Structures are given as C-alpha cells and as structure tokens.
Amino acid sequence: MSSATLQHAAFILRGNPITAVAAAGSTLLILVGLFAPWLAPYDPIASDVANALQAPSAAHWAGTDQLGRDVFSRIIVATQLDLTIALSAVGISFVLGAVIGALCGYTGGRLDRSVGRFVDVLMAFPLFVLAMAMVAALGNRVENIVIATAIINLPFYIRFARAEVNVRRNLGWVEAARASGESHVSVVLRFLLPNVLPAMVVQMSLNLGWAIINAAGLSFIGLGVKPPTPEWGIMVAEGARFISTGKWWLVAFPGLALMLAVLCFNLLGDGLRDILDPRQRT
Amino acid sequence: MTQPLLNIENLHVTFSTRRGPVEAVRGVSLSLAEGETLGIVGESGSGKSVTGFAVTRLLESAGRISAGRITFRDREITKMTSAGLREMHGSAMAMIFQNPRGALNPIRAIGQQIADAIMAHRKISADDARGEALELLRAVKIRDPEKRMAAYPHELSGGMCQRVMIAMAISSNPALLIADEPTTGLDVTTQKVVMDLLAQIAADRGMATILITHDLGLSARYCRRVVVMEQGRLVEEAEALTLFHSPQHPYTKRLVAASPTATSRVEDLVTGDENLLAALPAAPLPTPPHGTPPLLEVRDLVKRFDDGTVGLKTFSMVLAAGESVGLVGESGSGKSTTSRMICRLLDQSEGSINFNGESISHIPARDFHRAPQRKDIQIVFQDPNDSLNPRFTAFDCIAHPLMRLAGMRNGDALRARVRECAHRVGLPADLLERFPHQLSGGQKARIGIARAIACRPRLLVLDEPTAALDVSVQAVVLQLLDKLRREDGLAFLFVSHDLNVVRMMCQRTIVLRNGEIVEQGESHALFDNPQTDYTRELVDAVPNIELIEAAVAG
Amino acid sequence: QTRAETLRYVTGASVNTLDPNIPGSTREAFAVSLSTYDRLVSFGRKQLNGKWVFDLDSIRGELAESYEVSPDGLKITFKLRKDAKFQDGSPVTAEDVKWSLDRAVTAKILGKAQLLTGSLTDASQFKAIDPLTFEVTLPKPDKLALPNLATVYPIIINSKLAKSHTTEEDPWAQAWLKDNTAGSGAYILESFKPGEQVMLKRNDDWNRGPGGKQAFFKRLILQSVPEPATRANLVEKGDVDIVIDLQASDAQSLEAKGKLQVISTPQYNAMTFISMNNQMPPFDKVDVRRAIAYALPYDDMFKAALFGRGELLTGATWADGKPPSGAFPIKQPIKLDLDKAKAYLKAAGFPDGFSTTFSFNVGQSATAEPMAALLKESLGKIGIKVDIQKLPDAQMSTQITEKKLPFFTEGIVAWLPSTDYFYRNFYTGNQRWNYSSIDNAELTSIAQEARFEADKTKYEADGVKLNAINFDQMPQVPLWQPSQDAVMAPSIAGYTYQFHRQVDYRDLSRK
Amino acid sequence: MKLASTAKRAARRFASSLPALFGVLVFTFLLMRVLPGDPAVFFASGPNAGKEEIETIRKQMGLDKPVPQQLVLYLYDVGRGNLGRSLMTGQNVTKDLKERLPASLELTFSALLIALVSAIPLGILAALRPGSLIDHGVRLFCALGVCVPTFVSGLLLIYVFYYLLGIAPDPTGRVDIFMTLPPSHTGFLLIDFLIAGDFEGWWAAFKQLILPACTMALFVIAPLARITRASMLASLGSDFVRTARSVGLSWWRIVVTYALRNAILPVITIAGIVFSTMLGANVLVEKVFSWPGVASYALDALLSSDYAPVQGFVLLMAFVFVIVNLVVDVLYGIADPRISIG
Ligand SMILES: Nc1ncnc2c1ncn2[C@@H]1O[C@H](COP(=O)(O)OP(=O)(O)OP(=O)(O)O)[C@@H](O)[C@H]1O
Ligand SMILES: Nc1ncnc2c1ncn2[C@@H]1O[C@H](COP(=O)(O)OP(=O)(O)OP(=O)(O)O)[C@@H](O)[C@H]1O
Ligand SMILES: [Mg+2]
Ligand SMILES: [Mg+2]
C-alpha cells in the first residue's frame, strides 16, 4: 500500500468514525482469536454439572451452560473457530471465484459461456438448502461447513470478478502488457487480478459476517460443528431454545459475540468500500 | 455603455479536499454585456469549468465561493437563496455541458425532459409544454422532431443529444448561455455543425454566450472576445484574433504556439529551450535499398466481431521502414481495430499481414507474445490514464517489456536501460518510483512511449496518443515522438482524428470510413486537395485560423 | 362449539397419513388413527407410582363387546357390538373385521411385521362366523396375540367403502386410505393438511368411551409446531391445551412455575442406552464394553440431558450379583468407577485406551448432545478418545441397519413391553433393532422359549436369566427411561400414558 | 413495440435459462443419491421392520434400479409434471409444493415489501446527506439487521410480542386456527380474504404474517439500503442531475423523477437476487414460526433423505429463480428504455 492510500484511508477513517471502530473491533476479534487459549479463564469443555445453568456471576461472567461449562470461556475460545470458518470459507470462494471469474471475464467465448452456465445452475439453487445438503452429505465437520459455505458463495465471486475483469480487459495497460510479451494467462493472473482485488476485498469483508451467520443457521438445524467444540452459532442455537425458560445468558452472550463480529465485518466492509471507491476520493 | 449582463468581481472558489482546501479559482474578474459572446480558454484544470459552475451556482457540495461577487443584471448571485437560484436557472441563465449523452436523463423521453424544463418556469399545461418542446426541437434542427419527442437519449447520436441539450437550455429564453466544452467528444464533423447551430441560435435570440473550451481555434472562430485562464487566474483578455496574432502573456504565447494549425510544423510547436527538434537535422528520408521488402505489408484485412459487427471491411496498406503513415476517420470507422490487428493484439478474420517480409498474420494473437517480432512491433495507447497499470510504478512499466522481451533480469543493466529510456522521453529519473496516479497526463504519456520504445521496436503503432492531452503537452509529446522517429528510424502508424496533427506527423495518410479506405495519399496533398466529399468534410470541420481571418477581413 | 369443547394439541412432528399402516407414518399419525378408527380390543389402564399408564395385561373390548380365549389358547372368539356403526352409518360387521385383519397381515404395510410378533401371520387365521362373531386361530398359544390386536395397526376399516377404492395394483386401498378415513372411531376427520394440521370433530354415535359415553371434546385440533420453545410458550399462554414433547428444560421450568398441570410418567416401556457394536473391534471385547459401562458419569448425564426427568437405569445394587427380577428394562448395578473401568480396559488389552466415534441423531440433539459431551470428557479420563458425530436421522438409521456404527446412543420402545418381547426384538438376530449386534446363543434360545411360556414363575425365571446374561455381556449400556412430560392446562383431566407414547384424545376431558 | 420487444427478450431469457434448470435437476438428483442416508431404511421404521419392508419401500421409490435408469425415469416423470411422492407426508410432491408455495411466497413477498419500503427511504436519506449523522445511523441500523441470525431474531420477537406482551397471535402458522379460511383463489391468504370480503380474517392473517415477515425483512434491509444509497449517490452526482438543476427543476422533481428513477434500476436487480435467496433461506424462519412453507418442508425431507420432495423443492426454487429473473428483466426493460436495444 502506498503512502497515499494510507493517507486516504486515514482521511476516510477520520470522517467515518464507525469504520474506525469497526476496524478496531475486527482487530480485537482477531487478537482474541489468536490468543484465545490464554484469555479464557476456564477450560471451555470441562463440565461441572453441579454448577449447571448458573446465571452470570463474578466467577462466571457469562454464566454457565447445561453442563456447567463457563460460557464466557467458550465464547472466547469459539472466536478462533468462527473466524477460521469465516475466513477460510470466504477465502476459498474468493480465490477460486477470482481466478475463475477473471479467466472467464478475460477470455470470453466458450469457457466464459460454460462457466456462466455452471454459475447459473449454482445460483438457481436455493443456496442455504444446498449448503445444508452438502453438510448433510459430507458430514458436519468443520471442513465441510467451510466447503459448503464456500461453494454457495462462489457464484457471486465468479460473477463479480468476471464483471470487474471484463471492463478492464481492453484497457490500454492490459493490451500493453500483452504487447510487452505477457501471455493471456499471466495477464489475467499477474495484471488483472491484483487490480480487481481491492473491490473484491470489500465483498469479502461483507461476506465474512454472512459466513458466520450461515454457519449459525446450519447449527440451528443441527448441522453445525460437532459438540463439544465451542462455536458461536451452536451456542446461540442451543441457547435460543432456553429463551422461554429465562436462561437468557445462554443466548445473549454468544449472540452478542456473534453480532459484534458480524457487525464489525459489515461496517468494515462498508468502510473499505468508501476507502476504495474513487467517488469518495476528493 | 449600459450596465453589463454579468459581472464577476474577484471570484475565488475553494474546494475542501482531504489534502485541505484547494483554491480552484483565484480572483477572476469578468464582465459580459447583453448578447455578447465570450470565450474562456485554458488548459485542463485551469478553472474554466469551475468558473462556469460558480456563475450558475452549480458547484458540487465540496466547492464554495470563498470570496468575490457575481452579479447578474441587478441581482447578486452569490447571495441568492436556493429558491431564487432555481428560479434563475434556465430562465435567466442556462448551461450546456460536455458529453451531451451523459447530461440527459437516460430513462426519460427527450421531449419530456424539455417539457420538464419548460414547466419548471411557467405554469402551463403538460400538453402545451410538449407543444413548445416540439417547437424547440424544430428550432435546433432535429430531423423528424415529432418522432424524436418520444426518443430516449441512447437512440440519438451524440450530436443530436447536444442539440437536445441546447433546446433544453434555451427553453426558457435565458439571457445567458454558458457552454462548457459543448463539442469535446463529438466527431470533428459534428463539432462544426453543433457549434454553428449554437452560434446562430444565440445570435437569433440575442443571448449572451460564454464558450468554455481548451481549443483556441474554436474560441477564435465563435467568440469575439476571449479570456485565457491559467491556474485559476485570468492571464489575458483580448479580441480573438488579436490574441492569436500577438499574444501578450507568456502562457498565452505558449498556448498559441502549441496549437497545431494547417501550416504549423512539429518543430514550431514548442518554443524556447524545450524545443527538442531545434537541434536535430531534418528528417532523414528513408531510402531503403532496392529489393528489401516493405516493413509492413497489409493485405485485405477484414475483421468481423463475434457479435456480428464488422469492425473493418477491407484494408490494405504498405509501410516502409522509417516511414510514418496516418490513419484518420470518424469515430467507429475502425482505426483502433486496424491498429490492434497490426499489433497482433487482435486476430483478423481475413487477410494477411507481413512484417519485414515474413507473415505474422498466421500467428494467433494469443501466441504472439512468444513470436520474435513481438519486440519489433509496439503500441502507444490513446488515454495515458488507462494505459498504465495502476499497481506498477513508472519504473516497473518501462522495465516490464525489457524483462519479458529482451530477457533482462532485475539488476543494474536493467536499471540503466530504464533510466536511459526515461531520459530519452524526457522523464526526470526521480519520477520513476511513482505510481500512475501520482503523475500528470503528460508524464504518463511519456511513460507509455518509453515503454513502447524500450525494446527498440521497428514499428510503433500510435492509437491517438495525444487525444487526451492538453495542447501544450500534446506539442511536447508530438515533438518527442518525431524526434524518436528521426533518431531511430522508427516507422509509425499514427492514428488520430485531428487532421492538423496527422498532417504534421505523417508523410502519408489513409482516410477510413465505416471500415473502408476512402482515400489515401501524401498528407499535404490529400488535405489541401481532398478528392472525396468525406475527406473534404473532415478538412472543413477543422477550425482554421487562416480561414477565419479571411472571413473577418472579407 | 366453544373453545372449551375444543382440544388443541401441538406436536413437534406432524401427521403424515391417516392410515397408520403406511410406511413412514409418524407417531402423531398413530395418535390420530387411534381416535378415527376402532380396533377390536384396547388396553386397559393401571396406576404406576400414582400416574395412569396403559396396562398390557388388561385387554378390554373396543369393537368387540366381549372376547373369549379357548382353553388351549388357540382360538379367540370376538363378539362384536351390535350398535357399532362406521362413520358413514353402515354397521360394523365381522366381514369388515375379516377384511381389515386380512389386509393387516397380507398387504405390504407396517401391520404385517408387528402382528407377526403375536403369531398373526396369515389371512386363513381369521374367520367371520356370523355378522357379529369373529374368530382368530393361532398356531400356538401366544400371549401377545391379543395385545397385538390392541396396537395401532389392526384398525377396523369399513370394507365396503374401502373396496370401492381399490385398484388392481392396490387391492387394499392403501392409496385412498392414506388420505381418507373409513373407520368407526370416536372422531371424524374434518380436514387434513399433511405435515401441518389435522382437525377432527366428534363422532356423536361413538359410545366406547369410559362409561359407554362419547368422547368429551367436540373438536380436536392437532398442529405441528417444530420449535419446542414455542410449544412451551403456547401451552403456558393457554393457547394450547396439551403438549407432550417438550424439552426437559421447558418441562422443568413449567413445572416450577406451577401454573400448569405437568404429568411426568417415566416411559416404562422404553429405554435409552448407549450401544456398542459387539461385532466390531474394540467393542467385540466384553471387557471393553464393561470398561465403558463403568466409565460413564450417569448422574451428571441424567441431570444435564434430562434435567433429572425420568428414571435412571443404573446405580442399582444387586444382592449377590443376581438380577432381582425378570422384568425388563431393569436397573443395572453399574456406576461411575474409573478405577474399575481402567482395570477392565487393561484386561481387554487396551491399557492406553483407543479412539472411536460416538454418534447420535440430529433429532435427538437436545438430550444426546450434552450427554455425548460428558461421555467424551469422562472416557477421555481412561484414555478413550471419542469423536462425536451428529447424523441426520436418515443417515443414522441407515448406518445402524448396516451395522456400521461402532458406538452410539439410541432409544427403544416396546408397545408390548414384556421381557421376552424386548429380548427377542432388540437383542437377537441380524436385524436393525438389534442395535448392539449381539449374537448370544443362550440369550436367543431362552428368549425364544420364554415367548410361549405360559407359566408365570417359569417366565419370571427366564427373565432373570436373560437379565443376568445381558448384564454379564453388557452389549449396551442402559441409561434411563426418559419421562413423558405431558404439560396441560389445569382443567384437562383423564391423561393416560399410552403404549405409543402419544395422547389418546378419547380419554381426555375438561373439568 | 416496446412491449413486444420486452416480451421477446423475456422469452429469450427464459429459453436460455432452461439448460440451467436442467442442470439443477440433474445435479440435485445426483446430490441426493450421494447423501449417505437410505430413505427406505429410514421410513421402514416400524418395529421389526425387516429387509422385506425396506425392499418394498425401495421398490416403491424406484431405488432398486441402477442410478442412470432412475435418473431417466425421474426426468421422464418430471417431464410429465410428476415430481414423485413424499414418504414423509405421503403426498404427491407436486400437491405438497402447490399447497405450500403460496405460504412461502406470501411470506417472502411481504418480507421483501417491508424491506423495500424501509430500505429505499433509508438509502435515499443516507444518500442525500452522505457522511452525515443520518448516513452513519442508517448504516449502523442496517448492519444491526444482518448481524442477528434470523432464528434468534424470530425467537426473540415471539418471546417479546407473543409471550411477554401478548400482542401477537400464537406463532402457529398462517392464520388463527379457529378462523375459517376463505375460498382459495390465489393461495395468498391476504388476497383471498380480501376477495372474500372478510376483513376480520384478513386482519388475523396479517397479524400472523407480520412477525415472520419482519424477521426476514430485517435481514435483507441492509443490502437493499446499501445499493439504494450507492446508486442514489451515483445518480445524484451524475451529469443529468446537474443538467436538471441547471434548468431549474424543483428539488422534488430532481430527487424523485430524475435521480431516484434512475437509481432504482440496480435496486430492482438486487431485489430480485434477494428475493430468490430469501425463498431458499426461509427455512429457519419457517421453522421458528411453524410456517407451512416449502422451505421447512424441504428441510425435513432433507434430514430424512426423502428424495422426491427435496428434488421437487430445488427444482421449484430454481424455477422461481428463473421467473424472478424474468420479472426483474421485464421490470428493468420497462423502467430502462436502453435495454430493449440489446
Ligand atoms: N470537486 C472538486 N474537488 C477538488 N478540486 C476540484 C474539484 N472540482 C474541480 N477541482 C479543481 O479545480 C481546478 C479547476 O477545475 P476545472 O474543472 O474548472 O478545470 P477546467 O479548466 O474546466 O479543466 P478541463 O479542461 O479539464 O475541464 C482543478 O485543479 C481541479 O482539480
Ligand atoms: N470487441 C468488439 N466487439 C464488437 N464490435 C466492436 C468491438 N470493438 C470494436 N467494435 C466495433 O467496430 C467498429 C470499429 O471500432 P474501432 O474501435 O476500431 O473504431 P475507431 O475508429 O477506433 O473509433 P474511435 O475514434 O472512437 O476510437 C465500431 O463500430 C465498433 O463498435
Ligand atoms: Mg472543464
Ligand atoms: Mg479508437
């Protein structure tokens, strides 16, 4: 990043305190994710049934769950897994989508049409149901949740990358690269892709939150990660069923964590868009 | 003299940006009488448009009038309320913009748009308004006005859109019409028609006009009085012809010199120290030894696109080493298509291209990057802004072909070579580390040229290399190109729609229309004595100082 | 009719067919068929720990006014009620009974497999003597024959009506009966939206309720509400009269609030267990199975998963190590004892433990998940690494049938809860319900013998033997009998825990 | 002429999406076969369900044949409009879907309507004052909407409005169970009640609908408001708005007729995408509100490996997707005169 971009970012952040907060929040999340095992006051999976379903107290800030596990510790530790799920799911669709989309957008022709068909088929699927089916088919392991989430995201990235590359493919500098002896493939990968990345990064950060929510939805219908691994979606989904019995902390705290994460990513994405949008560059 | 229609006193306009406030206009004073025509000329960024927007108070929200007074008749525009402004817009003063197509609402029928403008100022029924709109369309000489009423902007040509724009602007008979580069982006031939119409309407209705343009010729032709702006200031104000013949301010002098005319030579474009060609001998005429094949030989080139459009119907040409050939024609005539095929960036549908006696047309564009001729044929693009990879520094841009085509590795040799190229195109070495957005248009154009010549090609295809540049920058670039050609014996295929430029730069010219060659020949002869109507139209459309003088005198 | 005369009932699953015999019918469908159709006989009821439950040993007439078992036990003669009418007004005759039972044992429907457990296998066993007399012949005396006729499958269908809807491929009118009723039951179908709701109105001619009366409620509304918390809300707000399948936590909190009637009956004919595949290493070693049995934190699991609602099946003390009774399910003398578990593991040749996968049904998550977490934690302490796997229901049942799961939790229910029935169906043979795939010759032969054992003391002795083998082999670890928590408005009376673990609407009334 | 060209374009679009439908069909078919669960085993769940019973069901479902043959048979059936039979409900899938689709559509339409009605003004407000407090407020509000999973917001809404406050009716479907249903014309209860002139019924159905619809709407306000803001900003900054100002049009005219009408075009596209994703993602909301829609139906079928309903559902959704795209196209074609050219 050049200093001008940084300067511009700083300018936007100043005018956009929400983005600054979101950026700080996201950083915090990632830090928590990295250092979770040291931050959690209790073992997140050690049960203590005698102390089950305790309301929040000084000892257990966010109360305890059905098995007497410390909800706060579970939330902290879950950060890691949730961020991993979100980042890797979005990362996979991002990389695949960008490459496939860019190649299609650049070459056009038969490849473009057949990939377009494939994307049409994917898009015509009820995506959440597709994700469910895939997790059901492959088993509810973290990898599979990630894969399912990535696949249902893929068409959007392909389209996005395709469109972005398509508008650029006849720009002077692209042709110049070819006139300078680059092959088509390397023009796409080394020239066009880096230039569409920023716009896609925006998409990505908006999608991070969505991926977490998606995983939570899967958990709700029983296809989330396997117990006893702490994960926000599962905790929320389980906690939600305790709403009517007054055990509010079971849903409130993990829900809050999930909300904060999604909120941060969304606001960050919004802010990044502003930073990268030339319209805003005054 | 009676009270002026418009009076601007010491106008200052400031924009707030992330780098702090930017003063775009710094103390402009002007006045304009009823019915008078005034030209504002100056290079890009000199504050012409901002002045126009300040007068109409149409500045975008980041900008504000930080000082000065603008009075229109008796009313002080600078102090008007938004209701007052709305009242004044259209009925007292109206504006015409560059890029007429964008300036019209794309999803509203044009008749409706004109009617909207009418009804904004008069309480008349929608039907009456439409009736008047129709009259206006007649007044701007649109063919089949009844039918066009229901048309949408995309269904009209650029010139027609500009007429609609003019109709809207005059719909409430404003006393002042501000035209901000009304013909840039239009075809050379259309330019003239639109300008003539505008001038005539203004004269008929007694409207005062301000014509904002960067084209000195244009302002000289249509305005009696011209002001010159540089960096937000007025530097000179004079009668048009006076300004042309005896410019006073150094800036004006440079501007006048840099504007190519029918008689100017590349050597004359730039005065003073900067003149690159002053020290050079005249162009060595290429005299290839007998029997050598021409450098480039194109035969029966045809291009049909996937969607069925025919980009090029048929095209043949021969280009000798060191020769420079111009390719002119209106927009969409197939100039770029031709040049991209010759550069092997695009596959032809039919026809052959021989380079230096060897066929290169059988190598598909996809594989041409591996062909030995790749480094011999290079291209310079039209828009310097989009011809550089935003993520490459100037250095990377120039080094890239050297690494790919000349097989140079990162290292001192490469660095030296890049420096040398930069030096040859007059690019200061300290700019090499900058990214495109940190460079000016002229500098970007130089990098584009440096990149193209880095591998010492033998043929350089130039696709409107200066179309997006200011005249003074254009002058420098043209000189630079000419110098390189003379020094290296480069051959040029020079694509442009500016006939004056082609005449200067090229020995021969090919005129293209709808993908076909309509005329070709030695440049001067061709333009002095065009054989076809089309070429004649092209030539006539170019604002020509000598002819204006003749007209004024006569 | 007024709201007070309407019974509104919500369930998690939904009614999917009106004929309980259709493969895939849900328990909710069974409950509906119980009130739209009559059977020949029905179960009586008894009190168990102060709660009313169905009684396998007292069979009373439903369509049959009376029945008589021949002294050799090979012939059962039913006298049909004279006043019994189908809902279209035609009288119920022995011909209808014959057709219906023929259908139950001949057509490819669920009844077939069930009735075979009562030696009812062939149409030739059924005979209509006269319009009001019907006779069933058995190849051997079978004490489950009569109770089988009280289950949900052998419904008595209006044969004339049904026959008018048969086709060549469908001689038993299965297609038609799936969406239509042709019974003589206490309720008449008003509307049926599969998967959503069923509305029934009272059959005023029906008089087979307690004291020869009609059913109490004039109208029944059954709705499916998938979200358990919502079901709890609904009954608490009084919008719904009765709910049985609540989460344990909701039942507990509703009980604590004391506004509603909560009748919790341990499902004495059911059992939840942890099963091991006895044919699959390492669980083919009996010591491994025993080690597991002593390594589970039963009390914690019971508390966390069921909130202590139900009956634990562990923690008993068997004097002299013998089973105190021949009943099944029986409380086992096992408890958490990690040292013992470690010793068994060592004896089995796994001193350092091993790794395995523990599976459960997605549908069971609410209880299975906490249980699995505790299991994993506790087994971890003796070196057994457990990977928990949550399977969608269809996958779970497929893998169980294919005997591919090494280690999992499931539950079983016996409609006819006698010891031999349990052992024969769930611990013998290479069939789906033999969850642990146990193949023990002794157990099999005793169970088969006990089936036809008429002598009560001998039968009891067989039961004790079976229980002893079961404990010794530990094919699976019994956990508990969950309780059926029926939560209802205080005004509702007459609730009985039924064999099919659903509400028999005909019993209910409003005070 | 305009209409004809729009219709022609729509027809062409439709024809070109047929391969995609076919792809969806085949893909779902195969996906279902990959599911490890065996429906026959699952549904043969009576006590003592033996091999024979499993075989019966297998035969009934046609699972005894090799997969390619099954596929051909299935395609043949689909071609005749027969989507097979659901084991779960015991009904024809076509019938089930026909009964349930209006419920899902009504819910989704209402949700989309609520979302559009709130998102567009919010987006416009934000665009009129970019960078202002309003702008930030709108952003925050929208982001808040997307950051709560629908099942949580749904359960919370039920808890608050039904359980605590008692304003909302019990969340058990489309209309109060004690209400008599209107004769079905459209399957959309709100419309059917209106046709029947039963306003009390309409109100009851409306009350049932409002919570689930809001739950869903909350989730999609953000993308809609975001695109509204962006395109509104773009069109407010465009040259033609400047032109409109330069001839003195009124503020209202400029914002509504000039800026908004242009800005709405991308919103239509996004709304189309949002609509089809919502239909598929209904699952959770339908579950939470016991809404008898297609998505929850498909979910249950999926978990029990009931092939036919899942396949039917996916096909239906793909079809709806195609239709929605067509509608978007047509709307776009009507709203944007530039389209008919291409
Ligand atoms: N919105 C803005 N924010 C900041 N600076 C601006 C803005 N608009 C214009 N400027 C600055 O004002 C100066 C004058 O701009 P203006 O558009 O009047 O130039 P011009 O003479 O019309 O040039 P051109 O021939 O390119 O149209 C330029 O330096 C430009 O950078
Ligand atoms: N990729 C393409 N697909 C289809 N048609 C094309 C394509 N590129 C160019 N054309 C068409 O080919 C014709 C010639 O285009 P070309 O770009 O060569 O014109 P030009 O003379 O360079 O015009 P300008 O002066 O505007 O640059 C035009 O009608 C154009 O619309
Ligand atoms: Mg300008
Ligand atoms: Mg061109």
Q: Across-strand partners of B511? A: B328, B519
Share of chain B above pLDDT 90, in %: 20
Model confidence at A278, in pLDDT bands (50, 70, 90)?
Answer: very low
CA of residue B335 to ligand 2 center, whole Å:
8
CA of residue C363 to ligand 3 center, whole Å:
69
Question: Are the C-beta atoms of residues B539 and B359 closer than 8 Å to each other?
Answer: no
For CA atoms C10, C16, C18, C21, the dihedral sign is negative
Tokens 């994405």 sit at which residue?
A: A269
Question: Quick check: A245 contacting B, CB < 8 Å?
Answer: no
Distance between CA atoms of residues C262 and C279, nearest Å: 43
For B259-271, write each residue's pLDDT tens digit: 887 777 777 777 6
Distance between CA atoms of residues A232 and B477, nearest Å: 62
> Please, is A163 exposed, middle or buried when counting C-beta atoms within 10 Å of its C-beta (0-12, 13-18, 19+)?
middle
Q: How far apart are the first and last CA of chain A?
A: 19
The answer to whether A263 contacts D298, with C-beta atoms less than 8 Å apart, is no
**Closest ligand 2 atom to Cα of B334:** 18
The CA radius of gyration of chain A, in Å to the nearest whole number, is 22
* Ligand 1 binding pocket includes B331 (Cβ within 6 Å): no
For C444-449, what is the mean pLDDT?
92
The yes-or-no reply on C/D contact (3 CB pairs or more, < 8 Å) is yes
For B50-74, what is the mean pLDDT?
88
Distance between CA atoms of residues C182 and B26, nearest Å: 96
For B427-431, what is the mean pLDDT?
86
The answer to whether A67 contacts C232, with C-beta atoms less than 8 Å apart, is no
For C341-356, what is the mean pLDDT?
93
A contacts of D233 (beta carbons < 8 Å)? 279
Question: Are the C-beta atoms of residues B310 and B515 closer than 8 Å to each other?
Answer: yes
Long-range contacts from D251-260, C-beta under 8 angstroms, 24+ separation: D251/B82, D251/B86, D253/B116, D253/B120, D255/D124, D255/D128, D257/B108, D257/B116, D258/B105, D258/B108, D259/D232, D259/D235, D260/D124, D260/D232, D260/D235
Tell which CATH architecture fits domain B296-376+457-553.
3-Layer(aba) Sandwich (3.40)
In chain A, how many domains are there? Answer: 1
Question: Are the C-beta atoms of residues B311 and B474 closer than 8 Å to each other?
Answer: no
For C166-184, what is the mean pLDDT?
90
Distance between CA atoms of residues C434 and C401, nearest Å: 9
Question: Are the C-beta atoms of residues D215 and B82 closer than 8 Å to each other?
Answer: no
Distance from CA of D179 to the nearest CA of C (A): 12
By Cβ distance, the residue of D42, D163, D297 closest to C195 is D297
pLDDT at A279 over 50: no
For B154-181, what is the mean pLDDT?
89
Number of residue pairs across A and C with CB atoms under 8 Å? 78
Q: Which residue from C minimizes the CA distance to D93?
A: C194
Distance between CA atoms of residues A116 and C427, nearest Å: 56
CA distances from D59 to B19, D39, D43, D53, D170 (A): 76, 11, 13, 10, 42
A contacts of B365 (beta carbons < 8 Å)? 178
Report which residue type is found at B88: M
DSSP string, B61-122: TTEEEEEEEEEETTEEGGG--HHHHHHHBTTTEEEE-SSHHHHS-TTS-HHHHHHHHHHTTS
> pLDDT value at position B87?
86
Three-state SS string over C140-151 comes to CCCCCHHHHHCC
Length of chain C: 511
The answer to whether B106 contacts D248, with C-beta atoms less than 8 Å apart, is no
pLDDT at B189 over 70: yes
Backbone angles phi, psi at D98, to 5 degrees: -65, -35
Class assignment of domain D98-335?
A: mainly alpha
> pLDDT value at position B287?
60
By Cβ distance, the residue of B89, B102, B106 closest to D248 is B89
CA B350 to chain centre: 32
Q: Which residue from C minimizes the CA distance to A67?
A: C304
Burial D260-282 (b: 16+ CB within 10 A, else e): bbbbbbbbbbbbbbbbbbbbbbb
CA distances from C75 to B403, C68, C146, C454 (A): 101, 8, 11, 16
What dihedral do alpha carbons A116, A120, A123, A129 form, nearest 10°? Answer: -120
D contacts of C229 (beta carbons < 8 Å)? 155
Q: Which two three-digit tokens encode residue D342?
A: 């291409």
Contact residues of ligand 2, CB 6 A cut-off: B 305, 307, 309, 311, 329, 331-337, 497
Question: Are the C-beta atoms of residues D19 and A116 closer than 8 Å to each other?
Answer: no
The answer to whether D297 contacts C3, with C-beta atoms less than 8 Å apart, is no
> Please, is C503 exposed, middle or buried when counting C-beta atoms within 10 Å of its C-beta (0-12, 13-18, 19+)?
buried
Best of D246, D261, D336 to disrupt the B interface (most B CBs within 10 Å) is D246
Closest by CA to D177, choosing from B233, B268, A136, C239, is C239
Q: Which two three-digit tokens encode residue D78?
A: 């689909």
Helix (H, G, I), strand (E, B) or coil at A224: coil
> pLDDT value at position A2?
53
Model confidence at A5, in pLDDT bands (50, 70, 90)?
Answer: low
The answer to whether B438 contacts A4, with C-beta atoms less than 8 Å apart, is yes
Distance between CA atoms of residues C409 and C431, nearest Å: 17
**Domain chopping of chain D, boundaries:** 2-79, 98-335
**Domain chopping of chain B, boundaries:** 6-259, 296-376+457-553, 384-456
Distance between CA atoms of residues A98 and A156, nearest Å: 10
Domain that holds residue A269: 3-39+61-280
Task: Indicate the DSSP class of residue B287.
Answer: -
Q: Please work out, in degrees rounded to the nearest 5, the angle formed at the alpha carbon of residue B407 by the alpha carbons of B401 and B412.
A: 90
CA of residue B247 to ligand 1 center, whole Å:
25
CA distances from D1 to C76, D5, D9 (A): 83, 6, 12
Cis peptide before A228 (omega within 30 of 0): yes
Which residues have C-beta within 8 Å of that of residue B81, sequence separation ≥ 6? Answer: none
Distance from CA of B360 to the nearest CA of A (A): 14
pLDDT of chain D, 342 residues: tens digit per residue: 566 777 787 788 788 888 888 888 888 888 888 777 777 777 766 555 567 777 777 777 777 788 888 888 888 888 888 888 887 777 888 988 988 899 999 999 999 999 999 999 999 999 888 878 888 888 888 888 888 888 888 888 988 999 889 888 888 888 887 777 788 888 888 888 888 888 888 998 999 999 999 999 988 898 899 889 888 988 888 889 989 988 888 888 899 889 998 888 888 888 888 888 888 778 889 988 989 888 888 888 888 788 888 889 988 888 888 888 888 888 887 777 776 544
The answer to whether C397 contacts D297, with C-beta atoms less than 8 Å apart, is no
Helix (H, G, I), strand (E, B) or coil at B278: coil
List the chains bordering chain A where 3 or more Cβ pairs fall under 8 Å. Answer: B, C, D
Q: Please work out, in degrees rounded to the nearest 5, the angle formed at the alpha carbon of residue C445 by the alpha carbons of C439 and C448.
A: 110
Question: Quick check: C209 contacting D, CB < 8 Å?
Answer: no
Q: Which residue from A minimizes the CA distance to C389?
A: A226
For A174-184, what is the mean pLDDT?
86
For A34-59, write each residue's pLDDT tens digit: 998 888 888 888 888 888 888 899 88
Closest by CA to B443, choosing from B473, B400, B480, B399, is B473
For B453-462, write each residue's pLDDT tens digit: 888 898 999 9
B contacts of A4 (beta carbons < 8 Å)? 435, 437-438
Distance between CA atoms of residues B199 and B193, nearest Å: 10
Interface confidence (ipTM) of the complex: 0.84
For B313-340, what is the mean pLDDT?
89
Name the residue of B186, B190, B335 whose CB sits within 8 Å of the most ligand 2 atoms, as the mutation to test its pocket: B335
What dihedral do alpha carbons B537, B539, B540, B544 form, nearest 10°? Answer: 170
Name the range with the highest mean pLDDT among B530-534, C125-129, D58-62. Answer: C125-129
Long-range contacts from B57-61, C-beta under 8 angstroms, 24+ separation: B57/B85, B58/B89, B58/B95, B58/D242, B58/D245, B58/D246, B59/B13, B60/D237
pLDDT at A275 over 80: no
The answer to whether B117 contacts D338, with C-beta atoms less than 8 Å apart, is no
Tokens 């000179």 sit at which residue?
A: B236
Tokens 């973290």 sit at which residue?
A: A142
> pLDDT value at position C431?
82
Please name the residues between 103 and 122 in chain A that touch chain B, using a CB distance below 8 Å. 108-109
> pLDDT value at position A280?
45
**Closest ligand 1 atom to Cα of B60:** 1
Topology annotation, domain B6-259: Rossmann fold (3.40.50)
CATH (domain of A157): 1.10.3720.10
Distance between CA atoms of residues B63 and A189, nearest Å: 41
D contacts of C363 (beta carbons < 8 Å)? 303
For D186-226, write each residue's pLDDT tens digit: 888 888 888 888 888 899 899 999 999 999 998 889 889 98
Model confidence at C442, in pLDDT bands (50, 70, 90)?
Answer: very high
Q: Which residue from C minimizes the CA distance to A228?
A: C373
CA distances from C207 to B405, C38, C58, D81 (A): 100, 11, 20, 46
Report which residue type is found at D216: M
Q: Which two three-digit tokens encode residue B471?
A: 């005249």
